[in-house]
Amino acid sequence: MEPAVQRLEPQRSRLHAPDPGRRVETRPRYSLAVDEFALKVLAWYRRHGRHDLPWQVPDPYVRWLAEVMLQQTTVTAVIPYFQRFLAAFPSVRALAQASQDEVLAQWAGLGYYARARHLHAAARVITEHYGDGFPRTADAWAALPGVGPSTAAAIVAFAFGVPAPILDANVRRVLSRYHAVSGRDARALRTLWTHARDHTPTHEVAAYTQAIMDLGALVCRKAPDCAACPVAAGCAFEGEDAPTVRRARPERAVFMAVIRDPARGVLLVRRPSHGIWGGLWSLPESVELDDLPAVVAALGVDGRMGMACAPVHHTFTHFRLTITPILVEGVSQAFGVAEHHDVMWYKGDGSGPGMPAPIRRLLNQFLEVP
DNA sequence: GTCCTGATAC
DNA sequence: GTATCAGGAC
């Protein structure tokens, strides 16, 4: 049997989100060994949860990589990238020794490229400060770039069995419904972190962590399947979430130069490391069409602006982008193109460098019919 | 507020 | 085709 008192000391996390000083609960904190909620969720998980995900191994590097890829990204989208990435960089040391270009090339298409840059930077910190080991606490993980409170907790729970509450999107949806916590403000978030910590058991932490995430992903979805839910009996959800307000996305537009050389392919430029598509390879661009000739000339290309092609639309979280490709005509061998580390020719063969998904699609169209 | 993309729904 | 949806860190 479980001990009657599970935690004599609060699992005081120094992650900033949970705040023991601002508790909203009135019931005793440590009255149950494992609360009923956790027991039911665990029982459900054994029969209905996901047990065969490719990162479900007790390896800190694997768990860290998976958790970072799973930030803002669904399981099905992550799986192929995870497998390719792990094959390319099988260890934290291999990752640390790779160039940023190699890392971004493997990440390209998955989005939120700051995750890849942070992962790479953190790999170098880990090999330098931990040798062949890894951080062992959630706080130490959260100190690394790209690892926040929830990711840090998931890593130590999965890799080391350390009891640490998580509050990712799935858990937040489950707990906000179960405990009727509406809103996304700091106060609501603090309340949810408190609930998350109160439900987190000290035993079977890895299983519970996966269980509560699976419950959110498989049952407590936006349109929940309450009939299949193991904790429906105690749940405060009444069939409707609080409405979310979303503001309209502003429109942005750019023109991009498609500079083709029969022998060398299409000219790409490396984007600045911050901002949209940071560090990826893209086409030379300008906001005003009138400015594009100067951008092209600055690269040492002597062509003239030719036909405008069909615009490509791409929607980001906070704005909508229209890309109008402009063919550059009469490129005479492009002898003057400066050969340096921010400019390259791309032939369109195979994988290529790290490019934003819409740029890759756009170029595939151009390179299909030379 | 700033960072993405593929899937699915209209 | 356009809109919505799914996913945390800085």
Write the CATH number for A73: 1.10.340.30
Using C1' positions and the CA of A170, the closest nucleotide is: C7
Domain identity same for A230 and A255: no
Domain identity same for A88 and A203: yes
A145: Cβ under 7 Å from strand C? yes
- Whether A239 is covered by a domain: the verdict is no
- Whether A242 is covered by a domain: the verdict is no
Residue where a domain stops, chosen among A206, A234, A262: A234
The range of the structural domain enclosing residue A296 comes to: 251-368
> Distance between CA atoms of A186 and A13, rounded to whole angstroms?
17
**CATH of residue A276:** 3.90.79.10
- Whether A15 is covered by a domain: the verdict is no
Domain identity same for A204 and A267: no
- Whether A275 is covered by a domain: the verdict is yes
- Extract the runs of DSSP E, i.e. beta strands, from chain A: 251-261, 265-270, 281-282, 285-286, 304-308, 312-315, 320-329, 343-346
Task: Decide the pairing of beta strands A343-346 and A265-270.
Answer: antiparallel
Domain identity same for A190 and A303: no
Domain identity same for A56 and A181: yes
Q: Which of A2, A25, A36, A67 is catalytic?
A: A67
Mean pLDDT throughout A73-89? Answer: 97
Q: Are A42 and A33 in contact (CB under 8 A)?
A: no
- Cα Rg, chain A, nearest whole Å: 25
Q: Which residues pair with A285 in a beta bridge?
A: A256
Residue A226, token pair as written in the block = 């309450």
- Taking only the tens place, the pLDDT of each residue in A124-154 is 999 999 998 999 999 999 999 999 999 999 9
Residue where a domain stops, chosen among A204, A234, A264: A234
> Distance between CA atoms of A266 and A344, rounded to whole angstroms?
8
- Taking only the tens place, the pLDDT of each residue in A41-80 is 999 999 999 999 999 999 999 999 999 999 999 999 999 9
Mean pLDDT throughout A205-220? Answer: 97
Phi/psi for A61 (5° steps) reads -65, -45
Q: Considering only A12-16, A117-121, A197-201, which range has the smallest mean pLDDT?
A: A12-16
**CA dist A319 → A274, A312, A313, A315, A359 (Å):** 17, 14, 11, 6, 17
Specify the pLDDT at position A224: 95
Which residue is closest to C10 in terms of CA–C1' distance? A146
**How many CA within 13 A on the CB side of residue A89?**
26
Mean pLDDT throughout A326-343? Answer: 75
Domain identity same for A200 and A263: no
Domain identity same for A230 and A307: no
Domain identity same for A217 and A285: no
Query: Is residue A36 flagged as an active site residue?
Result: no
Rounded CA–C1' distance between A223 and B9, in angstroms = 14
- Whether A338 is covered by a domain: the verdict is yes
Mean pLDDT throughout A282-303? Answer: 93
- Classify residue A137 by its DSSP letter: S
Specify the pLDDT at position A9: 32
Strand C near-CB residues (< 7 Å), A 253-312: none
- Whether A285 is covered by a domain: the verdict is yes
- Whether A246 is covered by a domain: the verdict is no
Residue where a domain stops, chosen among A234, A262, A285: A234
Using C1' positions and the CA of A109, the closest nucleotide is: B5
| Residue A23, pLDDT above cutoff 70 | no
Q: CA quadruple A126, A129, A132, A136: dihedral positive or negative?
A: negative
Which residue is closest to C8 in terms of CA–C1' distance? A71
- Whether A11 is covered by a domain: the verdict is no
Domain identity same for A129 and A57: yes
Domain identity same for A280 and A209: no
Q: How many domains does chain A have?
A: 2
Domain identity same for A275 and A325: yes
